[in-house]
Amino acid sequence: MRVVAGRYAVRDELGRGGMGVVWRADDQVIGRQVALKELPPPQGISGKDRAVYLERVLREARTAGRLNDPAVVTVFDVVTENGTTFIVMELVEAPTLADVIAAEGPMRADRVASIGLQVLGALQTAHAAGIVHRDVKPSNIMVLPGDRVKLADFGIARAMDDPNLTMTGGIMGSPGYMAPELFAGSQPSPATDLWALGATLFHAVEGRSPFSRETTAATMHAIMYDDPRLTRCEGPLAQAIMGLLAQPAETRLTVAGAREMLSRPVSDRTQVVDSSTQVVDAPTVQVHAVRRDTRPREPWQESYPEDVPLATPAPVSWAEDPWEQQGSRKSGSRNRVLMLSGAAVVVVGALLAVFLISPGGGEGEATPASSNVAKAGATEPPNEIASPLMPSSAPPSSSSSSTVSSAPPVSTVTVTKPGTPAKQPKPPAGQQPVGTPPPPPADKPQRTLVQITRYNHPAGPHFTATPGVPAPAGFNREFPMGWLVKDSEAGTKRLYACHLKGSDDRMTSVDPGCEGHTQVGVLGYIFTSKPAGVNSRGLYRCTYSGGHYDSTDAKCEGYNPEFQFGWVLV
């Protein structure tokens, strides 16, 4: 019989995972059975690094041993023998949550909520002691009779996760239950444990992991970009799960918020409606933060279907931008002052012309002059305009007439409303277009343009709007990005506004089906190749921790490009 540290007699194997083997053993000193977790040293370390590793394990195990919560597996001792570390723990002979789901399928909502509350209590105790679990998942939750639970492996992932002992930048954990910020290089925190709890509860109620895929890379991509959809429950439990799975860590449910939702009575509508199950519970491995695919792709490189008319297109109103109609009193007053000033210049010019022109028109006398000053007070819708592609319908001026220049037009000033998050994408210098439409070549037919404008919400989401598809309530105007074509023409494709299902995030797409999400409306038509004879700029889809947004900057203002939609006029 094998005896570890002269005290723990190993009897049989209870299980093994990514971080070691668990044995049943007899404590010959106290006379009780314990669980003995054998942790082999990380590969490739020796000498001083091995000593550092052993000290780290001891320190983390001591800290975990101080946790006092009914839902925490108690750590009794840590011993080393022949270079291998053993953590002596409370023996819990019960199936894991992963085992229960595999045997029984998706669990009832009330059971899931009860388990969630107990694990939440264990995490709260650990976080108060300065411990982050780092590896919350179904196979680390033991389910005892009466649905009492025990959360195991506190401190072990932390002990194994030393950049000096493993590959630089690695983080220990199970990829399918790791928060998105970990893949971007952030350190584990209480918020990452709460994300893992949300993924675990999703697994329990749906019978499958929300993000686990066939490969680690595919799993990481799903965590960063996919939106999990609950199909078997709703009500408070669904709200708690989705709140724990919020992408930005700062908007994620806190312990108090999750406890309040999980403590609510389960509504009659909150029920399991399907018994199918798929258990995917990957072992704990080391995962490295990687850069996302930032290569811009042309629209024709996408797999979206060709643009086709909608079966029943929704009526689109091409009215002026409501934000422009509801401008502040201050800007309105400023505009009135500018209009009055312009009118005064016209009147003074006319009076000077009357007094300087003599009936005879002799030598040294001014000849009659005609002015091309625009009508005072005439206005154009700021976001929708017929471009001057053809000669004006106004009668031509006399060939003998000279021109009196008017004052230069006043540039449009874009004001960003308050409430923008601190880390929102910001347009780089020179990227913000002016508020007047581009004049196309004279040999082209007249076309109607609509201005495309970016908005943001204080909570993070962005929305690209046109007059026909205004931004939702609560979104603040950022800046105009250019001009789309209102009507279809050769070399253009429809651009759609979309709302991601199960999320507050918005995005723009050239796919009528919004890539599986909900279409909000048709923004207009974008050029699929760079148009000739007019100024244009690429329009790109970008991502950051708060979701999707559009930009005319090929580098996405320092964030992550996905692909290029096409070209807008500027």
Catalytic residue numbers? 135
Q: Give the Å distances, CA to CA, from 565 to 223, 242, 383, 498, 525.
A: 24, 30, 21, 14, 11
Q: Which of 193, 31, 22, 195 is nearest to 96 (CA)?
A: 22
**What distance in Å separates the CA atoms of residue 186 and residue 95, rounded to the nearest whole number?**
33
DSSP 39-82: EPPPTT--THHHHHHHHHHHHHHHHHHT---TTBPPEEEEEEET
Q: Which residues contact 523 (CB under 8 A, 6 or more apart)?
A: 450, 452, 464, 465, 466, 468, 469, 484, 495, 496, 497, 508
What token pair was written down for 111? Answer: 């059971």
Q: Which of 133, 169, 159, 147 is nearest to 40 (CA)?
A: 159
Residue 375 known to bind ligand: no
Q: What is the dihedral of CA 119, 124, 130, 133, to 10 degrees?
A: 20
Q: What letter would DSSP give residue 247?
A: S
DSSP 362-427: -TTSPPP-EE-PPPTT----SSEEE---S--SSPPPPTT--EEPPPPPPPPPP-PPS---TT---P
Q: Which of 468, 537, 551 is nearest to 507 (CA)?
A: 551
What token pair was written down for 140? Answer: 């680390």
Kindly provide the residue ranges of all beta strands, DSSP E only, lying in 254-400, ordered along the sequence.
285-288, 370-371, 384-386
For residues 225 and 543, the answer to whether their CB atoms sit within 8 Å is yes
**Which residue ranges make up the annotated binding site for ATP?**
37
Residues of the binding site:
37
